[in-house]
Chains A and B, each alone.
Chain A
Amino acid sequence: MKKFLVSALVFARGHRVATALLFLLIFPFLMPYDALSVNILIFGLYAVGFNLLFGYTGMLSFGHAAFLGVGSYLAGISVVSAGWPWWAAIGVGVASSCLAGLIIGFLAIRTRGIYFSMVTLALAQIVYYIFYKSERWTGGENGLRGVKVEAIELPGIRIDFLNPLNKYYVILVFVALALWFVSRVLNSPFGAVIEAIRENEKRAAACGYNVARAKLLVFVLSAGICGLAGALRALHLSVVPIDSLHYLQSGQAVMMCLLGGMGTFFGPFVGAAVFLLLEDVVTNLTRYWMGVVGLVFMFFVLFFPKGIWGTLLYQLDRWQNRQGKAL
């Protein structure tokens, strides 16, 4: 049994996109209800996008709700006000969050550490108020309603988008593409550069890398992934709540990443799943679910700082090393 688990983990590490896909294909059948699995899928992607910046490049943004929200709102507005089809809405959502990432990133990467976190937070709050006040377009406090996509029309087939399981698999197509893209980026030379920047900016610059430009690029990529998550969420919920842009949403990305394991490929996804499952289970028991989630979070930060997935991978490494020495 243990042997089987270990070889499964070894495979998971070597083929991370394939494994993630395999797992996500059967995931809805492990969940209490389908809407929850859709939610986890979307927030998993959001956390993966955030992790690109936080876990791999070492930049802690407290403003990623801005990208989730901009992606959501612009996708929603494309459907509601412009009457565009769902696929155009996703495109608009991703493009606009990339643009938002370019502007916010351009201003924020001049700072480091806690100042970077504060600048991203402040700029995200500005985005929040812009959308909050533009009631005519965004519905203000009530959120944007009527993002209705009833069916996905493809040549030859028509998929009923109101069925939650169908919805899950349609969204999974986009999530899978995004995961594949992120994995490619992390595997590329550029992926090595961003990790090098996380480890030592001075050395990376001495090696000849334009650190500011690399940071801006990864910031935009991260914003784009989060924007895709946002756009998919708008289609999933058929409304865009104003709290998509709230700073609590930014905080959630941090919590999910730390819970699952920052700087690991699949960790943020695991973190998102655990976070949302906990929320779902605990809200049935008590109104103070945040308190319980907070305690669990603190437990992990104190005793398993590598997160759930990160700790698993670490143990796997140790086990493999021991085996290697025994041979």
Chain B
Amino acid sequence: MSAVPILEVRAVSRTFGNFRALNNVSVAFRAGELTAIIGPNGAGKSTFFNVISGGVPPSSGQVLFEGRDITQIAPHDFARIGIAKSFQITNVFKQLSAHENVRVALQMQVSRFQLLRPRGAYVALMERADALLERVGLADIRHKLAGDLAHGQQRSLEVAMALACDPKLLLMDEPTAGMSPEETRVMMGLIQQLSQERTVILVEHKMKLVMGLCNRLIVLHHGELLVDGNPDEIRGNAEVRRVYLGQN
């Protein structure tokens, strides 16, 4: 285990008006782990995700990436330092083709303000875009407009876009939200594969889904960290059972 955690959250709180969505949460994530943040509705999962992915700044506390304070950096800096995310509500470029979506995500590393060179001249980017689409199973429909793809396909496309910057840390907010059982199965397989090569943190509502997948689960409840442990520990924990059952 390396000494410096890949991501560390120190005493983070976030309030919206009088509502305390996160209360003094501290967690450290080790490189190479596949961790799920779970919890019932309103537990603060999405706020937690937004805080670690640059969506909202914390009201107090610190977020560190490889020991560096990233609490204040701009949203576009996350991809540049190696943190990519897929959103809970699908965010793709609807009027661009699937291939163009991935290409735009890829070209950030090569050229951000190149005005006069034609896009087609970046052959390596084209090939990498093809490879990424292949990887998430969208190779056959790469010329379709992203907006015309099925919901599950759009989510896969988003994963391909997140992978484009070759992130060290991949953050996923409910990656299977709104997916059919078949699509869910495929996505879970993909996440499993991805976690072999990089650190993945996912936020998930459905506990059953992540039990067999993750090495570590963090349960949030009412904005606070309830339990942190491996699947067996979580399964046997009375507190967790209470908050999940209490909700149902």
- Does any Cβ of A come within 8 Å of B84's Cβ? yes
Interface SS, B side: loop
List chain A residues, Cβ under 8 A from B93.
195-196, 199-200, 203-204
Given A189-B117, A189-B119, A209:B96 Cβ within 8 A: no
Segment 112-126 of B: residues with Cβ below 8 Å from A: 112-119, 122
A206 to B116, Cβ gap below 8 A?
A: no
- Does any Cβ of B come within 8 Å of A191's Cβ? yes
List chain A residues, Cβ under 8 A from B116.
184-185, 188
Interface string of A197-208 (1 = CB under 8 A from B): 011101111111
List chain A residues, Cβ under 8 A from B113.
190, 213-214, 217
List chain B residues, Cβ under 8 A from A184.
115-116, 118
A208 to B114, Cβ gap below 8 A?
A: no
A187 to B118, Cβ gap below 8 A?
A: yes
List chain A residues, Cβ under 8 A from B85.
206
B165 to A208, Cβ gap below 8 A?
A: yes
B94 to A199, Cβ gap below 8 A?
A: yes
List chain A residues, Cβ under 8 A from B235.
none
B104 to A202, Cβ gap below 8 A?
A: no
The total of Cβ contacts below 8 Å across the A-B interface reads 101
B161 to A207, Cβ gap below 8 A?
A: yes
Segment 180-239 of A: residues with Cβ below 8 Å from B: 184-185, 187-193, 195-196, 198-200, 202-211, 213-214, 217
- Does any Cβ of A come within 8 Å of B87's Cβ? yes
Given A189-B107, A208-B165, A199:B95 Cβ within 8 A: yes
- Does any Cβ of A come within 8 Å of B240's Cβ? no
Q: How many Å from the CB of A199 to the closest CB on chain B?
A: 4
A203 to B96, Cβ gap below 8 A?
A: no
Q: Measured between alpha carbons, how far is A81 from B10 in the docked complex, in Å?
A: 65
Most B CB contacts (10 A, CB to CB) among A198, A200, A204 go to: A200
Query: Which residue from chain A places its CB closest to the CB of B107 in the assembled complex?
Result: A189
Q: Measured between alpha carbons, how far is A101 from B147 in the docked complex, in Å?
A: 33
Seen from chain A, the residues whose Cβ lies within 8 Å of a Cβ on chain B are: 184-185, 187-193, 195-196, 198-200, 202-211, 213-214, 217
List 30 A-B residue pairs with CB atoms under 8 Å apart, sorted by A's residue number: A184-B115, A184-B116, A185-B115, A189-B110, A189-B112, A189-B117, A192-B96, A192-B119, A193-B112, A196-B96, A199-B94, A199-B96, A200-B91, A202-B75, A202-B87, A202-B91, A204-B104, A206-B76, A206-B85, A206-B162, A207-B79, A207-B105, A208-B76, A208-B78, A208-B109, A208-B112, A209-B108, A210-B74, A211-B76, A213-B113
Instruction: List the 5 closest pairs (A to B, CB-CB), nearest first.
Output: A208-B79, A199-B93, A208-B108, A203-B91, A205-B75
